[in-house]
Structure 1
Amino acid sequence: DDCIAISSGSSHINITGIACRPGHGISIGALGAHGEDTVEEVHVRNCTLKGTMTGVRIKTWQALDMHGASHSRKSGSFELIAPIIIDQYYCPSRVNCKNETSGIRISDVSYRSIIGTSTTDKVINLSCDQNVGCTDIQFNYVYITSTDVPGKKAYAFSFNAHGNYTHTSPVVKGLQA
């Protein structure tokens, strides 16, 4: 399953120099299953992920009247399927999933100095809650290419995410300032 899983109530976590091979990579969450959740000051540095299904992922349940924050810093390299994910529509069964109207607040997330490849063309997926959204999402020196999708360019998807990017490829066009 997850190489590293960080759950509710975690703070001041430093993950440095690990190597992840098959599995789900490094995950924060799923947050919000039972109410307000907070994860703060998670720092991931100089890690290598190879052959994992996801790279660095933050996932929250859809739920009513919940608030919280998730702070994360990430750097490293990877060769995997879906490198960067924020999923505020998490539903593990993918069956009978309700589309709720509010969820956990995700803010102050920085992705820096990341170089990698993906076996899909969607290499960054920011699916933020339609009402709460994600704020202060930063991409700096992030370079991800697609390796196994002939004729298709790597792209970033962003829904209701706010922040900015510099020196990032692919550009995160939907990231709102």
Structure 2
Amino acid sequence: MANARSTCFLLASLVIVFTPCLAGAAQYNVLNYGAKPDGRTDSTKAFLAAWTQACGSSSRSTLYVPPGRYFLLNVQFNGPCKNNAIVVRIDGSLLAPTDYRVIGNAASWISFKNVDGVTVSGGILDGHGSGLWDCKQSGNNCPSGATTLSVSNSQNIVISGLHSLNSQMFHIVVNGCHNHAVMTNVQNPIVIDQNYCPDNKNCPGQSSGVKISGVTYQDIHGTSATQVAVEFDCSKRSPCTGIKMENVRLTYMNQPAGASCNNADGTASGFIQPSSCL
């Protein structure tokens, strides 16, 4: 689990891995509930309606998002559900509002809460984060920025094949959950990047003034799509402190992955792979 204070951005870019729907599972297609794959029409209610059906099914179920671009406001997929074998299969792209003020200080854009046995597979999350990033670089009073994807008070969750597009605030926060967080071919599964500059515009050479501290990465296992699986690239002006790594096992192409630390301080305990650089 990764418990992060509100100031922490955990950035990750995930490659697409398509997982077939569960054999014999009931499928709930968001198009049948009014979703429009045009990138403009608000499809939030349609997604929640499809989730209600999938969650309320007593047998295995799939919430299916066909190819296309779907505009979504804040979406919270709540449990408990009647079954513990739900696949959320995304073959399209999910788009956040281009105006960051629409989400504002909401805790998350897409969240799963009180669920058991949910697999989120494939697709693209477009967080439209450039506007918020520009606001923060300007020094103005900006919203804290919502977590792109959060999972809380849940167990047996698998997140596989998500790809981040234009999501400067893309991060996954897992809190209050049971069983390991499992990564499958994730590019840099554990990342703090305070020197990030979207498209290398307006900010080259500038580092974040946000202080990141007290972040815990616990029970994270799986595979990395890049040789460096753990990267803490913190700023000289505001170094990262109090980072904790507990029982982390990440590999790259069946070999131990690597780790890189810059201006980061913390501790490691339990089994740690790659070897801690804190």
Task: Select between 108-117 and 29-38 the one with higher mean Cα deviation.
Answer: 29-38
Q: Work out the percentage of aligned pairs sharing the same amino acid.
A: 26
**Equivalent residue for 1:156?**
259
> Residue 253 of structure 2: which of 147, 152, 155 is its match?
147
Query: Residue 88 of structure 1 aligns with which residue?
Result: 194
TM-score (norm: length of structure 2)? 0.44
Cα deviations across residues 137-161 of structure 1 (Å, max 9, x unaligned)? 111111000027xxx7410111111
Residue matched to 2:160:
50
2:77 maps to 1:77:
no
The answer to whether the 8 Å contact 1:59/1:88 transfers is: no
Q: Which is greater in Rg?
A: 2
Q: Is the 8 A contact 1:115 1:144 kept in 2?
A: yes
RMSD: 4.0
Q: TM-score, normalised by structure 1?
A: 0.65
* Count of aligned pairs between the two proteins: 157
1:3-152 matched pairs, under 5 angstroms: 9-11=105-107, 15-16=112-113, 17=118, 19-23=120-124, 33-35=134-136, 38=144, 46-53=156-163, 73=174, 76-82=181-187, 83-95=189-201, 97-100=203-206, 102-147=208-253
Could you say if the C-alpha distance between residues 76 and 158 of structure 1 is closer, same or farther in structure 2, counting changes exceeding 3 Å? same
Distance 1:153 1:98 in 2: 32
- Paired residue for 2:276, among 162, 172, 177? 172
Report the CA distance shift for 1:73/1:160 in structure 2 as closer, same or farther (over 3 A): farther
Change (3 A) 1:37 1:129: farther
Deviations 1:31-51 (A, max 9, x none): 764346647997655432223
**Residues 1:155 and 1:53: Cα distance change in structure 2 (over 3 Å):** farther
State the secondary structure of the residue aligned to 2:124.
coil
Q: Decide which structure has greater strand share.
A: 1
Provide the rounded CA distance (Å) in 2 between the counterparts of 1:142 and 1:97: 33
Q: Distance in 2 between matches of 1:112 and 1:40?
A: 22
Instruction: Tell me: CA distance 1:92–1:40, structure 2 relative to 1, closer, same or farther (3 Å).
Output: closer
Question: What is the DSSP-based 3-state SS (H/G/I as helix, E as strand, rest coil) of the residue aligned with 1:89?
Answer: coil
Give me the whole-angstrom Cα distance separating, in 1, the residues matched to 2:95 and 2:246: 23
Change (3 A) 1:120 1:101: closer
Gaps of 5+ in 2: 1-91, 97-102, 137-141
Structure 1 residue 117: Cα displacement: 0.2
Question: Whole-Å Cα distance in 2 between the matches of residues 138 and 104 of structure 1?
Answer: 18
Shift of 1:97: 3.5
Aligned 8 A contact 1:118 1:146 in 2: yes
Name stretches of at least 5 consecutive residues in structure 1 with no aligned partner.
Answer: 61-71
Distance 1:8 1:153, change over 3 A: farther
Separation (CA, whole Å) in 2 of partners of 1:3 and 1:111 = 27
Query: Which position in structure 1 is the counterpart of 2:99?
Result: none
Maintained 8 Å contact 2:196/2:207: no
Q: Is the 8 A contact 1:73 1:112 kept in 2?
A: no
